[in-house]
């Protein structure tokens, strides 16, 4: 199903915004690396839409290639671009001293036009950006998303809510690598767990102060088992939390709060555990500082129903 709704861009036949699609084309092609030589212009020269220039870098230096761009915005009617509206392509290319043709369409070329373009390609290189290709390019990068937000604000914001990306807060991408195998746990789909080890007392001792000795993160399953075998010692107890849960804003802030409460209260952190906790919170923050997805909203509701979540670490014993 289409993610972006091109009908949000004003139809070329109506109102003062009728040049919106050409403006969109100009921004899109600039993003793709072309230089715009002729801006959208609806003068008497009805055949002209845009002339753009591509710079190719080769062994012999830079080569400039001029392209004629034809913009056709049929999204509102939904009909394909017919051969009859793309007339004299060859003439238009030659008149504007171009070397190739770009079809920039908010629908698709009709089969008649597609056949004509294939024939043209024997003489002139031809590129077609149809609805799907434009959408794919917009959704593939931050720059593309910004452009989609400008021209298709409603559908792009719906799409972004369900495809959350880490916010660009630090110059580096957030990263937490599995302590056992080195795998990145904060990819497009965060995975893995955070494990903590702290001291506990078997007997009731009011003066006993639990100390967080180690905090690390790893893959679930084999990597977790391997590390557990390494860290398990008498007098230490482990607790863990799912990383996908920790990037939910409300769970994240509860974690921060419970850490602060522990520091103010009777619990202690080793230098190692404290440094790891800071690294964890810093790297999770960009994942938290974005719009929650619809899926996250559901998860928040079910997590709020679990009282143990108020307490931070899910330790079985102690306290």
Question: Where on the chain is the footprint of Zn ion (CB under 5 A)?
Answer: 178, 180-181, 183, 219, 223
Measured CA angle at 24 (ends 169, 63), to 5 deg: 90
| Residue among 99, 106, 43 nearest 67 (CA) | 99
What value does the CA radius of gyration of the chain take, rounded to a whole number of Å?
29
Shortest distance (Å) from residue 231 CB to Zn ion: 15
CB contact at 8 A, 50 and 93: no
| Residue among 107, 55, 47, 49 nearest 80 (CA) | 107
Please, which residue, 181 or 282, has the CB nearer to Zn ion?
Answer: 181
Count Cβ atoms within 10 A of the Cβ of residue 211 and give its class: 0-12 exposed, 13-18 middle, 19 or more buried: middle
Shortest distance (Å) from residue 226 CB to Zn ion: 8
Shortest distance (Å) from residue 195 CB to Zn ion: 12
Other residues' Cβ atoms within 10 Å of the Cβ of residue 68: 25
Shortest distance (Å) from residue 80 CB to Zn ion: 49
CB contact at 8 A, 236 and 191: no
Please, which residue, 140 or 181, has the CB nearer to Zn ion?
Answer: 181
Shortest distance (Å) from residue 178 CB to Zn ion: 3
Please, which residue, 22 or 241, has the CB nearer to Zn ion?
Answer: 241
Please, which residue, 219 or 251, has the CB nearer to Zn ion?
Answer: 219
Please, which residue, 161 or 226, has the CB nearer to Zn ion?
Answer: 226
Shortest distance (Å) from residue 184 CB to Zn ion: 10
HSE-CB for 52 with a 13 A CA cutoff: 27
Shortest distance (Å) from residue 222 CB to Zn ion: 7
CB contact at 8 A, 311 and 249: no
Please, which residue, 81 or 223, has the CB nearer to Zn ion?
Answer: 223
Please, which residue, 75 or 178, has the CB nearer to Zn ion?
Answer: 178
H or E element at residue 240 = strand 236-242
Please, which residue, 19 or 184, has the CB nearer to Zn ion?
Answer: 184
Q: Are strands 126-129 and 211-218 parallel, antiparallel or unpaired?
A: unpaired
Distance between CA 23 and CA 150 in Å, rounded? 11
* Torsion angle (degrees, nearest 10) of CA 5, 11, 14, 19: 110
Other residues' Cβ atoms within 10 Å of the Cβ of residue 253: 11
288's CB contacts (< 8 A; 6+ apart) are 247, 248, 249, 252
């Amino acid at each position: 199903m289409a993610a972006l709704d091109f009908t949000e861009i004003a139809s070329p036949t109506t109102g003062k915004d009728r040049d919106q699609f050409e403006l969109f084309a100009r921004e899109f092609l600039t993003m793709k690396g072309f230089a715009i030589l002729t801006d959208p212009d609806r003068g008497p020269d009805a055949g002209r839409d845009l002339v753009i220039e591509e710079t190719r870098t080769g062994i012999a230096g830079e080569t400039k290639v001029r392209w004629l761009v034809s913009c056709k915005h049929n999204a509102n009617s939904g009909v394909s671009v017919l051969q009859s509206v793309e007339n004299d392509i060859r003439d238009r290319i030659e008149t504007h001293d171009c070397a190739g043709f770009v079809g920039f369409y908010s629908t698709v070329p009709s089969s008649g036009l597609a056949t004509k373009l294939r024939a043209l390609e024997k003489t002139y290189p031809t590129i077609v950006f149809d609805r799907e290709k434009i959408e794919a390019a917009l959704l593939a990068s931050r720059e593309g998303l910004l452009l989609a937000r400008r021209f298709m604000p409603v559908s792009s914001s719906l799409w972004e809510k369900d495809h959350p990306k880490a916010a660009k807060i630090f110059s580096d991408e957030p990263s937490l690598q599995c302590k056992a195998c080195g795998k990145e746990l904060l990819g497009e789909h965060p995975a893995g767990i955070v494990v903590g080890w702290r001291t506990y007392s078997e007997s009731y001792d009011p003066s006993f102060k639990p100390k967080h000795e180690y905090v690390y993160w790893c893959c679930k399953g084999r990597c977790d088992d391997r590390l557990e075998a390494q860290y398990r010692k008498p007098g230490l107890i482990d607790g863990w939390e799912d990383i996908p849960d920790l990037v939910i804003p409300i769970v994240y802030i509860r974690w921060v709060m419970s850490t602060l409460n522990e520091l103010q209260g009777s619990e202690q952190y080793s230098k190692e555990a404290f440094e790891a906790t800071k690294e964890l919170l810093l790297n999770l923050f960009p994942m938290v500082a974005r719009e929650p997805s619809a899926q996250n909203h559901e998860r928040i509701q079910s997590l709020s129903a679990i009282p143990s979540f108020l307490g931070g670490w899910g330790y079985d014993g102690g306290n």
